[in-house]
Structure 1
Amino acid sequence: MDQGFKNTVVAHGQQVGIEIEVVERNPAEVGFVPRPNRWVVEQTNGILMLHRRLVRDYEHRPATAESRVYWAISDVMARRLTGTSTSWRGA
């Protein structure tokens, strides 16, 4: 997260009842060091962006957008369970 917005995000999270944990960078580390939990989130977002409806925010209601995410992740799980692909990407 951009360090300039850290306090703003934490304050907003408190207002809406979401617990935000900010993971600080270790000053002794030099260069790029991946954070284990962040990769899970980034991978999930990347997979969801392969679904056309989720690339842009077309939905006007949060419930509709939420249903699109459920649809997309259900598609991903079904493909993984069956080992099939119906995509032009071939994977």
Structure 2
Amino acid sequence: MWCGPDGAVVEVPVRADASGFHPATMARLPEGILALLRTQTSINRILVDAFADGSRGALLQALLLDPTTESYRAAVHTIDEMFRLQGDVLPEMGW
């Protein structure tokens, strides 16, 4: 069982049969792993909100929370480049 935010989706081993799906009971994950999952869950929620609200500012916030983002400057560049390359398929988003 994962003690994470409500509505978070995680993959677990499951047995399926004619009566449905039966998730396996798992040992508690180490705190370091749980911390990474909490961060990723927050990033995903902010991303959904960013696209729902059409907000590049929220998109920037999500990127800045990602531990693989090097800097504020890199995050802004990533967003600008994403819209330059894929603007025809992305929704309108303002700063």
Specify which structure has the bigger relative contact order, considering alpha-carbon pairs within 8 angstroms and separated by 6 or more residues.
Answer: 2
Per the shorter chain, which TM-score range? 0.3 to 0.5
TM-score, scaled relative to structure 1: 0.32
Structure number with the higher helix fraction is 1
Structure number with the higher strand fraction is 2
